[in-house]
Amino acid sequence: MQINALSTADTPNPAFLWREGAFVPWSEAMVHVNAVGHASVAAVFEGIKAYRADAGDALLVFRLYEHLQRFVDSARLSRVAMPHDVEGLVEATLDLLRSNRTAMDTYIRPWCFAKGIVRQLLVPEGVATETLIDSWPFDSSLGSERGVKACVSSWRRIDDQSMPPRVKAFSNYHNARFAALEATRAGFGATILLDRNGKVTEGPASCVAMVRDGALVTPPVYGGILESITRDTLLVLAREELGLPVVERPIDRSELHVASELFFMGTAWEILPVLALDGLAVGNGAMGQVAKALDRAYADLVRGRVDDRRGWITRHPIG
Ligand SMILES: Cc1ncc(COP(=O)(O)O)c(C=O)c1O
């Protein structure tokens, strides 16, 4: 497990990406070198997964509408003039899967950035933008026994009064990257950031939850985190499928060491148990019972093994 891993240099590219309504051959989707740099100051994106149904007849795009609503919200909050709405982006995403004849587990990344040459450091409000949707295959770890050794970062998480973590902006990952690089250098596979008051926030690209006294406990959405869709999913599954009490409240750093389970949750990492934190075992040092049960319930949903009674799946038939 690598701290940054969603793809590697060897990950195959699709035939096309979606660029402002056109399907552009992946290898021809260019920008001028001058467009790289400041454009990312005001760029926003999303990360979505489409899982191949066990039945082999469809790709099941997980919570596509919620992801694209967050994308639209991120653009609006950042005052990035993205001209697309959720319905249009849903259609574009499904058209892209069709054009690429995508049939395997696929990560989908819509993003929006200032178009053309951006020489103004602060990327003024209302500059023209480009919206793209890219996709690439991923390997799911659902169903496997797994875990990671993590540390608490010496870096503090950005907050709502500086760079709102609620916005999924590329520039927020500058903070996340500092934490990830520090952890990697120290030999850890993951890291957890605290806020300025020493309360637990999230990982560089995923939320965190712990199990304490039989309840699933996680920082609230006003606790300096991205409003994670996986977090929301797992809280619902914990409550409704596992019958676990769910508590959203601030968490002290030291509480993480008395938790019986601790895990990351996010689209990229799915559910990733922390086996040890700063050298101290979490629980018995193996993937815990709650993580396993949530892993099963999540896998059943995204693989289409159970009824989608919450309307979380967008089915994309494959031939
Ligand atoms: C900072 C951060 N927190 C949490 C998450 C998890 O969010 P989601 O479950 O919606 O993918 C992500 C993933 O994109 C993230 O980048």
* Rounded CA separation 251/319 (Å): 48
pLDDT value at residue 139: 96
Condensed to tens digits (0 to 9), the pLDDT of residues 100-116 reads 999 999 999 999 999 98
User: Among 206, 229, 237, which residue has the most ligand 1 atoms within 8 Å of its CB, making it the best to mutate?
Assistant: 206
Burial degree of 287 (CB within 10 A; 0-12, 13-18, 19+): buried
pLDDT value at residue 2: 53
Give the distance (Å) from ligand 1 centre to CA of residue 49: 12
pLDDT value at residue 47: 98
Contact of 114 with 33, CB cutoff 8 Å: no
User: Among 201, 228, 272, which residue has the most ligand 1 atoms within 8 Å of its CB, making it the best to mutate?
Assistant: 228
Contact of 48 with 41, CB cutoff 8 Å: no
Give the distance (Å) from ligand 1 centre to CA of residue 207: 6
Would you please indicate which residues are annotated as catalytic (active-site) residues? 168
Inform me whether the pLDDT recorded for 40 exceeds 60: yes
Q: Which atom of ligand 1 is nearest to the CA of 70?
A: 10
pLDDT value at residue 116: 83
Condensed to tens digits (0 to 9), the pLDDT of residues 259-305 reads 999 999 999 999 999 999 999 999 999 999 999 999 999 999 999 99
pLDDT value at residue 3: 56
16-137 folds as D-amino Acid Aminotransferase; Chain A, domain 1 (3.30.470)
- The average confidence (pLDDT) of the chain is 95
Nearest CA to ligand 1 atom 15: 205
151 confidence band (pLDDT: 50, 70, 90):
very high
Contact of 193 with 212, CB cutoff 8 Å: no
* Rounded CA separation 78/123 (Å): 11
239 confidence band (pLDDT: 50, 70, 90):
very high
Domain extent listing, the chain: 16-137, 148-302
CA distances (Å), 192 to each of 143, 145, 150, 151, 154, in order? 24, 21, 7, 6, 9
pLDDT value at residue 311: 98
Any residues with Cβ below 6 Å from ligand 1, and which?
47, 202, 205-207, 226, 228-231, 266-267
Count the Cβ atoms, other than its own, within 10 Å of residue 224: 26
* Rounded CA separation 124/177 (Å): 25
Condensed to tens digits (0 to 9), the pLDDT of residues 211-225 reads 999 999 999 999 999
- Average pLDDT on 34-38 reads 83
Contact of 267 with 208, CB cutoff 8 Å: no
Contact of 260 with 212, CB cutoff 8 Å: yes
> Over pLDDT 90: what percentage of the chain?
89
Extract the tokens encoding 124. Answer: 């003024």
- Average pLDDT on 175-191 reads 98
pLDDT value at residue 100: 97
For residue 135, the Cα-to-chain-centroid distance in whole angstroms is 14
pLDDT value at residue 5: 56
Residues 6 or more apart whose Cβ sits within 8 Å of residue 159: 165, 195, 196, 224
148-302 folds as D-amino Acid Aminotransferase; Chain A, domain 2 (3.20.10)
* Rounded CA separation 99/17 (Å): 9
* Same CATH fold assignment for domains 16-137 and 148-302: no
* Rounded CA separation 319/255 (Å): 50
Inform me whether the pLDDT recorded for 251 exceeds 80: yes
Residues 6 or more apart whose Cβ sits within 8 Å of residue 198: 252, 253
Q: Which helix (H) or strand (E) holds 74?
A: helix 64-77
255 confidence band (pLDDT: 50, 70, 90):
very high
- Average pLDDT on 229-249 reads 98
Q: How many CA atoms lie within 13 A of 258 on its CB side?
A: 7
Inform me whether the pLDDT recorded for 1 exceeds 80: no
> Over pLDDT 70: what percentage of the chain?
97
CA-derived radius of gyration, the chain: 19
Inform me whether the pLDDT recorded for 8 exceeds 80: no
